[in-house]
Amino acid sequence: MLRALGWPSGAISIRIQRATWLAITIAITGCAAPYVEPYPARLARPTDGDVVLVEDNLIIFDASGSIDRLVDFPNEKAVLEAFLAGMPPGTYRVALRVLGGREDAQVHLATFDRFELRQHARKVGWTGRQTPLAQVLDDYREEFATRAGRVAVIVFTDGVPTRYGKYIGPEETVEAARRLHARHPGELCYHTVQVGMDPRGPALLRGMAELGECGSFRTIDALDGADALHAFQMQIYNGPPPPIVAKRARAMTDLDGDGVDDRFDRCARTPAGAKVDERGCWVIEDYVFDHDQATIRPQHEATLEAVVRVLAANPGVRVRLDGHTDATGAAAYNFDLGKRRAEALAVWLIDHGIDALRLEVHSFGPGRPVAPNDTQQGRRKNRRVELSIIDF
């Protein structure tokens, strides 16, 4: 029928056609802002290994007095409803802010809920109030400053910010967009959609879209169809998974300075200079004693002299000498051997100037192995005397 009337095809002609039909509707019904049914949208699901990259999504919809209420507002609202219907499923957060709308017209950041958003958008009406776009952008500076993922800001507006009914130019709003972009630690993308054909609009909308590398600008006529809207939303939301960033190595904490990270140190508070094993424990190994005996070998006294130096340098330290054995043989014998070795070490230290009141003796026998007893190396590690700190 439209072709028979001689109208051209394309986005501009569609806009002319809609304007004509809306004018006819208004004349017949007397409605101030006719409702335009949104076209069926296609879900913008990720494909070919892509994922939803957006973590936070701010949608700004202009219902202010600068928007033509008879033609542009109904078209804008129809596209908004189609846009909400086509958003990809996900757990990202979404806010819907209505320029010129009262508080009950706003949807603040919450996990994406398609049904709630569509129900809310259906109720939005033209307000005739001013266009506080700069203020809306400033409202989200703190909200987005703590999240490092991708933020998509989609703005449906004529690009004509007003205050008390007067056009105030693009500078204030572009500067607010710049502040928000600079505050966000991740990637923030502005996608601006011009409603109507006001020649002043692109100065603002292009200025916002060009902040960063991922934004875009288009007119609302470019979204007059499900395929165009789908391509737009695929661009906004989806892309290849970001590379996996290796976790930064945690700085080692070593409060006792023994070279063993406190996360793994089984013997905290060893004094400076003490020779510790991989557990962070101060250990006198089995080779200091004669085989299966509690006699200290003279050729290994240098190891014990190092212990004397550490205790002399830390006169407030008291230690318990804990005798440990492997599991070979009778348990009673091993407990006795562990005790005799601990006592022999205590006697040696006392003979070399360490106050007996600083020493205690205990035997754990085979009861606290540090390695399996089924290998020669494991049994050797289990035969030891540990110096456990009692007081500093």
What CATH number is associated with residue 83?
A: 3.40.50.410
Q: What is the CATH number of the domain that holds 313?
A: 3.30.1330.60
**Same domain as 214, residue 104:** yes
Residue 8 has pLDDT above 50, yes or no: no
* Interval 310-332 mean pLDDT: 95
Query: Which of 98-102, 110-114, 372-376 has the weakest average pLDDT?
Result: 98-102
On average, the pLDDT of the chain sits at: 89
Give the end of a domain, one of 205, 239, 273. Answer: 239
Rounded to whole angstroms, how far apart are CA atoms 109 and 140?
Answer: 10
Residue 148: pLDDT band with limits 50, 70, 90: confident
Q: Is residue 28 part of a domain?
A: no
136 shares its domain with 218: yes
Average pLDDT over residues 363-378: 95
pLDDT at 248: 77
CA angle 242, 246, 252 (to 5 degrees): 155
CA distance 114 to 273: 65
Q: What are phi and psi of 83, to 5 degrees?
A: -60, -45
Structural domain includes residue 191 = yes
Give the count of domains, the chain.
2
Position 12 in a domain: no
On whether residue 97 sits in a domain, the answer given is yes
In this model, does residue 20 exceed pLDDT 60? no
Confidence tier at 358 by pLDDT (50, 70, 90)? very high
Q: Is residue 1 part of a domain?
A: no
pLDDT, tens digit (0-9, with 9 covering 90-100), for 165-197: 889 999 999 999 999 999 998 899 999 999 999
Q: Could you tell me if 235 and 287 lie in one domain?
A: no
Q: Three-state SS for 76?
A: helix
Say yes or no: 170 and 55 in one domain: yes
* DSSP character at residue 242: P
From CA 373, how far away is CA 335, in angstroms rounded? 16
Q: Is the pLDDT of residue 131 over 70?
A: yes
Q: How confident is the model at residue 212 (pLDDT cuts 50, 70, 90)?
A: confident
Could you say which of 239, 257, 292 is where a domain stops?
239
Residue 252 placed within a domain: no
pLDDT band at 32 (very low <50, low <70, confident <90, very high): low
Task: Note whether residue 118 is domain-resident.
Answer: yes
Verify that 288 and 212 share a domain, yes or no. Answer: no
Q: How confident is the model at residue 245 (pLDDT cuts 50, 70, 90)?
A: confident
pTM recorded for the entire structure = 0.60
Asked if 288 and 231 sit in the same domain, the reply is no
Which two structure tokens, joined as six digits, stand for 356? 């007996």
Task: Tell me the C-alpha distance between 236 and 152, whole Å.
Answer: 7
182 and 300 in one domain?
Answer: no
Whole domain around residue 333: which residue ranges? 283-391
* Whether 203 and 329 share a structural domain: no
208 pLDDT exceeds 70?
yes
Given a cut of 90, whether residue 22 has pLDDT beyond it is no
Length of the chain as a residue count:
392
- For residue 268, being part of any structural domain is answered with no
Q: Are 112 and 90 in contact (CB under 8 A)?
A: yes
Contact 157, 97 (CB under 8 A): no
Would you say 2 and 16 are in contact if contact means Cβ atoms under 8 Å apart?
Answer: no
pLDDT digits (tens, 9 = 90+) for 265-314: 999 889 999 999 999 999 999 999 998 899 999 999 999 999 999 999 99
**Nearest Cα residue to 73 out of 133, 128, 22, 33:** 33
Domain C-terminal end among 224, 239, 254: 239
What the block records as the tokens of 302 is: 């240098």
- Do 232 and 299 have their domain in common? no
